[in-house]
A and B are shown apart, each in its own frame.
Chain A
């Protein structure tokens, strides 16, 4: 009994940190309708800054804490003013979600550059000695955590419910246009709420820092936990966010104590999926229905890039010839990166069909890569099956997962759907770590054979490169055929207006599932090829960071163009290899690239380039230049 109580108290302490993060997420969501995936980044920035101020500069603890909170809040305000707030009025919600993912990656990259990849720990605020209360042991830091959490929760509740600023914030959430007409400075208030979540994040991160070791990418853990908490509790209710956080903390601690600590994450993710399926608005949801459509409609426009006619054929052949001679041009060092870029492009193509054409955000593409990679690798390594058979088995398993996932997520829309896919990716991720007997656990799976077809092994990078190049060429041709025909038109109709699509007899559900299936199958193929290429597979190679990287490739290249992803894949994979000093900045550059492209060329390099260089295609809502546009566009 005492042990159970002890575990529950531990769970409540951990949960109160989750609750604080959830509070920050909920706050931004209520004001802007966006889930701010960068939230956890502020936690880790706060904690790392505290470490530096306390250890390197010898500041006394209270001063260091205050300074760390202030610095993190300033960084948050800076990011908000430079990127989050200005993008809000221009980008659709799904792009905003990915923009925050980019901000998160940029913050992680910044932390990596400044603090390196080693873990850090800070001493507890009031000594190591635990408090003993009614025979139960409490770490003294627990009181600090509980106190800080309570203060934050009360502060946010008071500000929203009892002050005029709070009322104005809620007005921004309900209808930004009307709020602006009523004299509310929407941009300033949005910025303020973004800065406030940075402050909340920093306080949470700093309070919990002494009882955990943390490093540059621990922010993910905070974002994930906070997001799970807020989704369980309900996006739009502050009380729900807090309750969800505490609930999650206790559930995780109980799972860790009685099942296995490796499965604690899996348990919480399963809990989240169950919530998303049965109570999509959360267990403690407030009865508020947001009118997301108020702002959504005007922001889905983008350049129309179409490749037709002789020019497209010639251009395609030139690109193909260039790709075929590329191995002769680059050195042996870049060769392996070239293969990886092409393999990832396969997966990005799938993402483009699902996100670029059908408008469904998928933040869990790496999950399908992991399924394909591990299935093929395990079958080929442990059971000696031909690699091609392993690859096929991976596709079947991925399609099965995609079918189940798309069936359970049919009722979900927008942000919830995106987050269900993120959860799926995290779930697969935690399973690859947890099922150590099968996957080799965190240390990875070794001795994977080279890819072979009918006994011919593609053992050298060159041979694999040409194989994948051939496959990619056929794949692009096939997808182009599909996307320019009725199937692709149906997907694009669904992207922007499901109701109008249905009114034309388009079966929305079936088309979405088909797009999801294509995406999953291509992700799976890419994962299998990746494993055979590396002869080794570890969870972080196909982890959530990979999902975001592939999204960055797609966005940088240009959504809805198929071939644009190739530019993104080559750029993001090759640049760090060619400029070695860049390698340390790779993560930060990836994040910044994603953010900047979203902000300044939402059509991607290909879309924007085409528009400027060749006056090719027209952007929606552009001034009408009709008769002239006709000749250019053909």
Chain B
């Protein structure tokens, strides 16, 4: 079964075709990378999938379910979680609280139970804290749990954002350039995290410029250029694809 099926998705901004008749599928349990030069429409595609923008035409199906009329928070409620290109941790909250905010869709005790400190709500809160702490430990940030999240370096903020999305228990995770701005150690950390997520059975669709990260972990690569999907295949196939090389390096004549 496919976790995500995108068919003929199109979006224009004025005269600019940000996304033009894009179709591809993300098989369940896979790690699919979405690559392409700057301005190819990768982030726009994420915004269309999560309905932050309305598509002009085309459909997006999540485990067979049409997402067309659903609000962003409903889509997250179905288990399709995303991160943002610039880390969007919540200011005014600690690192731990930021991660815990991700669990929102899985909280069972109602607000009233939380107000009244009912034992069930407290127990749920404790379980949640433990899971969030475990995630922070996985990415090596356990020492920063009570620090304001925005005071951490960019790499740590991005990892926190991934942890936050993970705690939501996603069926499909969309990651928008998680390695951008990360140093080598942090990138290695991230690579480990990605494989751990995939081995845990969570499907991943990732936008990434870091080629070694993509080639190491992805099973399928989708290449976008100027809003169009120009190639789909395994990392090895993509590396040898003439159109992909042209999109990145220009036509052969110019290179020579």
CB nearest to A301 among chain B residues: B91
Whole-angstrom distance between the alpha carbons of A518 and B191 in the complex? 44
Residues of A within 8 Å of B2, CB to CB, are: none
Contacts A/B (CB < 8 Å), 29 sampled: A301-B148, A304-B148, A481-B121, A486-B107, A486-B109, A486-B111, A486-B114, A488-B114, A489-B93, A489-B97, A489-B100, A489-B104, A490-B101, A490-B104, A501-B90, A502-B73, A503-B50, A503-B84, A504-B73, A504-B102, A504-B105, A505-B104, A506-B73, A507-B73, A508-B73, A622-B151, A624-B151, A630-B146, A630-B147
Residues of B within 8 Å of A619, CB to CB, are: 148, 151
Q: Could you mark each residue 57-80 of chain B with 1 if its beta carbon is under 8 Å from any beta carbon of chain A, else 0? A: 000000000000001111011000
Known: A492-B92, A629-B147. A486 touches B152 (CB 8 A): no
Is B102 in contact with A495, judged by CB distance below 8 angstroms?
A: no
Whole-angstrom distance between the alpha carbons of A316 and B31 in the complex? 51
Residues of B within 8 Å of A504, CB to CB, are: 73, 76, 81, 101-102, 104-105, 164-165, 168
Count of chain A residues with a beta carbon within 8 Å of a chain B beta carbon: 47
Q: Which residues between 614 and 634 of chain A lie within 8 Å of chain B, taking CB atoms?
A: 618-624, 626-627, 629-630, 633-634
Is A496 in contact with B111, judged by CB distance below 8 angstroms?
A: no
Is B114 in contact with A477, judged by CB distance below 8 angstroms?
A: no
Q: Which residues between 269 and 290 of chain A lie within 8 Å of chain B, taking CB atoms?
A: none
Whole-angstrom distance between the alpha carbons of A618 and B144 in the complex? 11
CB nearest to B79 among chain A residues: A505
User: How near does chain B come to A630, taking the closest CB pair, in angstroms?
Assistant: 6
User: How near does chain B come to A425, taking the closest CB pair, in angstroms?
Assistant: 27
Q: Could you mark each residue 216-253 of chain B with 1 if its beta carbon is under 8 Å from any beta carbon of chain A, else 0? A: 00000000000000000000000000000000000000
Is A497 in contact with B101, judged by CB distance below 8 angstroms?
A: no
Q: Could you mark each residue 540-582 of chain A with 1 if its beta carbon is under 8 Å from any beta carbon of chain B, else 0? A: 0000000000000000000010000000000000000000000
Q: Could you mark each residue 41-67 of chain A with 1 if its beta carbon is under 8 Å from any beta carbon of chain B, else 0? A: 000000000000000000000000000
A487's contact among B52, B73, B111, by CB below 8 Å, is which? Answer: B111
Is B82 in contact with A481, judged by CB distance below 8 angstroms?
A: no
Any B CB within 8 A of the CB of A79:
no
Q: Could you mark each residue 117-131 of chain B with 1 if its beta carbon is under 8 Å from any beta carbon of chain A, else 0? A: 100010001001000
Is A478 in contact with B101, judged by CB distance below 8 angstroms?
A: no
Known: A486-B103, A626-B143. A620 touches B91 (CB 8 A): yes
Any A CB within 8 A of the CB of B116:
yes
| A residues at B contact (CB < 8 Å) | 300-302, 304, 306, 477-479, 481-482, 484-490, 492-493, 495-497, 499-508, 514, 560, 618-624, 626-627, 629-630, 633-634
A634's contact among B146, B150, B152, by CB below 8 Å, is which? Answer: B146
Known: A490-B101, A504-B76; 5 extra A-B contacts, CB below 8 A, are A485-B109, A486-B100, A489-B104, A496-B92, A624-B147
Is B92 in contact with A500, judged by CB distance below 8 angstroms?
A: no
Residues of B within 8 Å of A514, CB to CB, are: 111
Residues of B within 8 Å of A490, CB to CB, are: 101, 104
Residues of A within 8 Å of B117, CB to CB, are: 477-478, 481
Residues of B within 8 Å of A302, CB to CB, are: 91-92
Is A487 in contact with B114, judged by CB distance below 8 angstroms?
A: yes
User: How near does chain A come to B9, taking the closest CB pair, in angstroms?
Assistant: 19
Residues of A within 8 Å of B168, CB to CB, are: 504-505
Residues of B within 8 Å of A484, CB to CB, are: 125
Whole-angstrom distance between the alpha carbons of A482 and B121 in the complex? 10
Is B105 in contact with A505, judged by CB distance below 8 angstroms?
A: yes
Any A CB within 8 A of the CB of B43:
no
Residues of B within 8 Å of A492, CB to CB, are: 90, 92-93, 97, 101
Any A CB within 8 A of the CB of B195:
no
Whole-angstrom distance between the alpha carbons of A479 and B93 in the complex? 17
User: How near does chain A come to B37, taking the closest CB pair, in angstroms?
Assistant: 26
Residues of A within 8 Å of B91, CB to CB, are: 300-302, 496, 620
CB nearest to B93 among chain A residues: A492
Known: A486-B107, A624-B147. A481 touches B76 (CB 8 A): no
Known: A490-B104, A505-B105. A629 touches B73 (CB 8 A): no
Is A506 in contact with B147, judged by CB distance below 8 angstroms?
A: no
Whole-angstrom distance between the alpha carbons of A485 and B110 in the complex? 10
Whole-angstrom distance between the alpha carbons of A176 and B69 in the complex? 38
User: How near does chain A come to B52, taking the closest CB pair, in angstroms?
Assistant: 7
